[in-house]
Amino acid sequence: MVFSKIKDLLSGSSDYDNERYEDYLEIDTSQAKIQKNKIIVRPFTISEFNDIKPALDALRDGYTVALINIRPLRDKDIVELKRAVNKIKKTCDAIDGDIAGFGEDWVVVTPSFARVHRGQEVNSIEEE
């Protein structure tokens, strides 16, 4: 059987050509759209500890830079704020991201492919 296929191939038999292309599916690439994942810069506000869940979920997806307003929780309960920031930091470490505070009211968290520039205006989360 193998020899007959080789013989047919060398002789240019059309039976082998038809058998060879039966398992292939032709795809029209002009209609297929390639969707690239875009980076989203998304603001979040934390009024209580449970408000961090949407921010953490977005960070775990990997294409979100989270700008988190922590002022409402800071004004309400400093212990809950520390707990929330620790949870955000653990998630940031798990995704190999970066986290930094902007002033006293904002925290920025980036995915693994981005870093926060540490200048005079930006404080490290460990410093706070």
**Domain regions of the chain by residue span:** 40-127
40-127 in CATH: which number?
A: 3.30.110.150
Residue 79 has pLDDT above 90, yes or no: yes
Q: How far apart are the first and last CA of the chain?
A: 76
Of the candidates 46, 92, 96, the residue with the CA atom closest to the CA atom of residue 68? 46
pLDDT band at 24 (very low <50, low <70, confident <90, very high): low
Residue 3 has pLDDT above 70, yes or no: no
Give bridge partners of residue 110 from the DSSP assignment: 98
C-alpha neighbours within 13 Å on the C-beta side of residue 92: 22
pTM of the full structure: 0.64
pLDDT band at 20 (very low <50, low <70, confident <90, very high): low
Least confident window among 59-63, 71-75, 91-95, 119-123: 119-123
